[in-house]
Structure formats: C-alpha cells, structure tokens
Structure 1
Amino acid sequence: MKFYVIGDVTVDHLYHLDHLPAPGEEVAPVRASMEPGGAGGTISVTLARLGHSVTLAARVGDDPFAQYALSHVRESGVSESAIQRDPDVLTSSITVMQAASGQRAMISDGAANRLLDPAKLKKKDVEAADALIVSAYSLTEGPQREYARKAIDIARGAKKPVPVFLDLGAGAVNRAGPSLLESVIQADYLMLNQHELLVLTGTNSISAALTQLGRQGAQRVIVKVGKMGSIVWTPTETELIDAVALEENVVDSTGAGDTFTGAFAHAVMSGATLAQAARAANAAGALSVTSFGAQERPITPADLDEALGK
C-alpha cells in the first residue's frame, strides 16, 4: 500500500519526573533523553515498519536537528521527496515533562512545520496514494494548513477517491477548539482521544459527542480511551474494543496515539474490519509505550500478530 502522510517532524526533549514542577520550582529528572518525534514522523515510521510505501510531507530547518528529527524516517525507508527545507526557521522541537502519576506538560514549537509550502504539493502524489493521513496539527495555522486542506480536496476529488484518515491531537484541539470541526468532519476515518472529542464538540460525555458528530456528517469515528482501549463508532453501531494487555512494562507514552493511528490505517487498508483494525491499533499503542521515545519501539506485522495472540 502507498500512504501519503502530512504532519510534523520534531526533536522531542523528554523529561521523566517524580512530579511536575510548581512555578519557580527546580526539579531533577528521573530520566532525560532526546528522541525523534512528531505525529507525521511517527505515523510514517509506523507504516513503513509495517511494510508499506510511505511519503511524508513536512518541513524542517537547515540545521543539525533536522538530521536527527528525520533519522528514523530515513532508517525506515520513508520517502523524503515531499520534505521541505527552510533556510531561516529552525526544525520543530517539543519539550515533554511527564510525572510518575501520568500527568504531562508540554512546550511545543511548530517552527518550520507550520511553513510547509502548499505551492510545492504535487497533485499526482496524493492521487497515486492508496490513502492520505493528515495530523490535525497541520490544520491549525500557517501555510501548512493550506497544504493539508488542499491535499484533502485532491484526495476527495480524485477520479478514484483516496480515503482520508485524520488524526487529532491535544495541542491542535486545545488551540483551535470547536472551530477545527469544520476541517475534520468529512474525513473517512476520524481518530481522537476522549479529551479531544469533548473539546472538539463542546460536550461533556462521549455519547453526546458522538451523537453530535453523527448529526454533522461524521461517518467513522475512532476514540482512544486509554487503558479501556478504543471505541469504534459509525452511524449504525458503537463498539468498545478492549485494550491489549502485555507483560512488558509501560515506560513512556510519547507517540502512542500516533502509533495507534498508523497501525489502524495499516489494518483498515489491509482489509480488516473497523473492530479488527482498532484492536490491532490498541496492540500497537501498547507495544509503543514499552520503550522511551515515540519511534524507538519497532513494530512489525509479526509483533502485532503475537500481541493479538494469532
């Protein structure tokens, strides 16, 4: 399968702490590391490791961080033909502080990613893909927003329409709020977590939120609900897909949602039902949190089969 992915690539600075610092407080991390990250990079790497042909559209600076941010992208064989270089703006970075309780705080700089030039989007590349995957961060601001919306229009208007998978993120939803709904509602597959769902719809329950999305035209919604697994919703059915339990310890949740998205798209495009795809995605998300960093745990089809007990 051929996937065209639009999303950020970043350098992630990860700090694991006993607790998040109060204003003015200085704390020492239990563990600190720097890892390649970003939703676009992580989704692309996940798909490539699962055996697919992937083109990633992102923008990086002309700096040493660019090489590091793209290191796993290159190792995985993802095409860089749609990667743009910015001579003036730095490669994006994110600082993640994660407490032992599970609480997180983040400092995110969209930097070069938000300047992805829509004039360089090639229509034939989107039309040639079997599926388009867009991270909602790409729909928040700057030229990158126009790039993503243009790609979605091309996919939907192609002679053979290209399915659109749209993955939300807390930062994108918190920044744009319900105004983001117009840009994402027509996706063939809309993926988000419980917090993002409630903020996006302005409701206070999952059932009310899904009802609202249905009224506004949503066709397939997949809600990530953490330790409970995920919920698959269509206008005719709602099903909770249990989480996949592993014997390995959870060490870092960075990038788990993006890994989920890549594995879900992999399974759907490989012929799985929505429920089967969600279960495979649950397994991939569970595997991803057993290593530090968004892209450090390679996941293959054999890994998914083993996690699913096949």
Structure 2
Amino acid sequence: MKFYVIGDVTVDHLYHLDQLPTPGSETAPSRSTMEPGGAGGTISVTLARLGHSVILAARVGDDPFAEYALGRVRGSGVSEAAIQRDPDHLTSTITVMQTPDGLRAMISDGAANRQLDPAKLKKKDVETSDALIISAYSLTEGPQREYSLKAIEAAKNAKKPVPVFIDLGTGAVNKAGTKLEQDVIGADYLMLNQHELLALTGTGSISTALAQLGAGGARRVIVKVGKMGSIVWTPDETELVDAVPPEGNVVDSTGAGDTFTAAFAHAALSGLPLARAARAANAAGALAATRFGAQSREITPGDLATVMTKK
C-alpha cells in the first residue's frame, strides 16, 4: 500500500531523570540520548518497515541536524520527494524529560516544520495514495496548516476518495484547544489519547466526549488509554481493546503513540475489523516503548502477525 504522511521530523534530546527539575535547580539524568523523532518521521518509518510505500511531507533546515533527523527515514526507504529544505529556519528539536513513574515535560520547537510550503504540494501524490495520515501538529499554525488542509481537500475530492487518518498530539491540542475539533471531525479515522479527547471537546468524561464527537459527525474514533489499551468507537459501537504486554521492559514511551497510529493504519487498511486493528496497534506501541528513542525498536510484520490473526 501507498501512504502519504504529513508531520514533523525532529531531533529528540531525551533525558531520564529521577524527578523533573524545579525552577533554578540543576539535575543530572540517569540516562541521556539523542535520537531521530517527530510524529511524521516515526509514522513514516514504521509504515515503511511494515512493507509499505511512503511519501513523507516535512521541512528541515539547512543545518547538520537535518541529516540526523532524516537518518532513519532515509534508511527505511521512505520517499523524500516531499521533504523541503528551509534556508532560514532550523530543523525542529524536542527536549523530553521523563521520570520512572511516567511524568514528562517537553520543550518543542516547530521551527522549519511549520514553514512547510503549500505551493509545493503535489495533489496527485495524495490522490493516488491508499491513505493520508496527518499529525495534528501540522494543523496548528503557519504554512504547514495550509499544506495539510489542501492535502485533506485533495484526498476527499479524489476520483476514488482517499481515507484520512488524523492523529492528535497533546501539544497540538493544548495549543489549538477546542477550535481544532472543526478541522479533525471529518477524518475517516480520528486518533487521540484520553487527555487529548477531553481537551479537544472541553468535556469531563470519555463517554460525553465521544457522544459530542458523534453528534458533530465523527465516523471512527480510536482513543489510546495507556495501560488499559485503547477504545474504538463508531456511531454503532464502542469497545475497549485490552493492552498487549510487550516482550521486554518498558523504558521510554517517546514515539509509542505514533507507532500505534502507523500500526493501526497498516492493520485497518489490511481489512481487519477496528478492534483487531487496535489490538495490533496496542502491541506495536508497547513494543516501541521497550527501546530508547521513538524509532529505535523496528516493528515488523512478524511482530504483529499473531495479534492480527487472533480473534
């Protein structure tokens, strides 16, 4: 299958701490690493490793970090035909501070990614894809937002409409708030975690939030609920899909949600019912968290074979 992905590519600086620093304090990490990341990069790499043809639309700076950010994108065979270079803005970076009990703090700079030039969008590449996947950070601001909206329009108006997957992120929802709902409600598949669901809808419970999205016209909503697994919702049914414990210890959740999204799209477009696709995604997200870095744990068809065939 062929996927068109719009989202950030970044260099992630990861710091594992006993506790998050307070203002004015200095702390030493138990471990620190630098890894390629970003939702667009991680989704693309995961899909390519699962055997798909992938075009990634992102923008990097004219700086040394650009090559590092694209390292695994290039190594996995993702097409760089829609990667843009920016002479004025730096490649995006993210600093992630994480404690053993799961607390996280992040410093994120959209930088070059937000300048993705919509004039360079080749609609035919979207129209001939089997799916369009957009990270909601791409819908928050700047030329990247216009690029994403044009791509959605191209997908919807294609001779054979292209399914649209939109994956939210906490930073995107915190920045755009409830106004983001109007941009994402028409997606064929809307994917988000519990916090993002409540913030997007301005509600206090999952059931109320899903009912509101349904009233607004949502078709399929997949809610990531951490250790509980995920919830799949349609206007006709709601089902909790249990988590799939990984082989190995969970050490870093960076990129696990993006891996979930890619694996879900892979499974759903392979013809699986939503609940079985979500189970495969649960397994992929958990496996991704057993290595440090968003793209370090390669997810293969063999990893998902058992959960995709199990009813």
TM over 0.5: yes
For 1:85, the equivalent position in structure 2 comes to 85
Q: Secondary structure at the match of 1:162?
A: coil
Q: Give the whole-Å Cα distance in 2 for the aligned partners of 1:109 and 1:307.
A: 36
Question: Is it true that 1:232 corresponds to 2:210 in the alignment?
Answer: no
User: 2:276 touches 2:308 (CA, 8 Å); kept in 1?
Assistant: no
Structure 1 residue ranges (4+ consecutive) displaced by more than 4 angstroms after TM superposition: 306-310
Once the two structures are superposed, the pairs formed by residues 45-60 of structure 1 within 5 Å of their partners are: 45-60=45-60
User: 1:19 touches 1:101 (CA, 8 Å); kept in 2?
Assistant: no
For 2:304, the equivalent position in structure 1 comes to 304
Amino acid at match of 2:24: G
For 1:248, the equivalent position in structure 2 comes to 248
Q: Give the whole-Å Cα distance in 1 for the aligned partners of 2:189 and 2:171.
A: 20
Q: Secondary structure at the match of 1:89?
A: coil
Describe the superposition over 1:95-151 as per-residue Cα deviations: whole angstroms up to 9, x where unpaired: 000011210000000000000000000011000101000000000000000000000
Question: Is it true that 1:124 corresponds to 2:119 in the alignment?
Answer: no
Once the two structures are superposed, the pairs formed by residues 1-40 of structure 1 within 5 Å of their partners are: 1-40=1-40
RMSD across aligned positions (CA): 0.9
Instruction: Give the CA deviation at 1:214.
Output: 0.3
Q: Secondary structure at the match of 2:275?
A: helix
Gaps of 5+ in 2: none
Amino acid at match of 1:280: A
Describe the superposition over 1:6-37 as per-residue Cα deviations: whole angstroms up to 9, x where unpaired: 00000000000000011111000000000000
Instruction: Give the CA deviation at 1:246.
Output: 2.3
User: 1:244 touches 1:308 (CA, 8 Å); kept in 2?
Assistant: no
User: 2:279 touches 2:307 (CA, 8 Å); kept in 1?
Assistant: no
Instruction: Give the CA deviation at 1:88.
Output: 1.2
Describe the superposition over 1:239-285 as per-residue Cα deviations: whole angstroms up to 9, x where unpaired: 00000012310000000000000000000111111011000000000
Instruction: Give the CA deviation at 1:308.
Output: 6.5
For 1:272, the equivalent position in structure 2 comes to 272
User: 2:227 touches 2:243 (CA, 8 Å); kept in 1?
Assistant: yes
Q: Give the whole-Å Cα distance in 2 for the aligned partners of 1:96 and 1:308.
A: 32
User: 1:127 touches 1:154 (CA, 8 Å); kept in 2?
Assistant: yes
- TM-score relative to the length of structure 1: 0.99
Instruction: Give the CA deviation at 1:307.
Output: 6.1
Identical aligned residues as a percent = 78
For 1:196, the equivalent position in structure 2 comes to 196
Gaps of 5+ in 1: none
Q: Secondary structure at the match of 2:78?
A: coil
Q: Give the whole-Å Cα distance in 2 for the aligned partners of 1:305 and 1:188.
A: 25
Q: Give the whole-Å Cα distance in 2 for the aligned partners of 1:5 and 1:299.
A: 18
Q: Secondary structure at the match of 1:197?
A: helix
Instruction: Give the CA deviation at 1:305.
Output: 2.1
Q: Secondary structure at the match of 1:84?
A: strand
Instruction: Give the CA deviation at 1:309.
Output: 8.3
Q: Give the whole-Å Cα distance in 1 for the aligned partners of 2:111 and 2:294.
A: 19
Q: Give the whole-Å Cα distance in 1 for the aligned partners of 2:128 and 2:157.
A: 13
Q: Secondary structure at the match of 2:250?
A: coil
User: 1:130 touches 1:163 (CA, 8 Å); kept in 2?
Assistant: yes
Q: Give the whole-Å Cα distance in 2 for the aligned partners of 1:100 and 1:285.
A: 18
Describe the superposition over 1:211-239 as per-residue Cα deviations: whole angstroms up to 9, x where unpaired: 00000000000000000000000001000
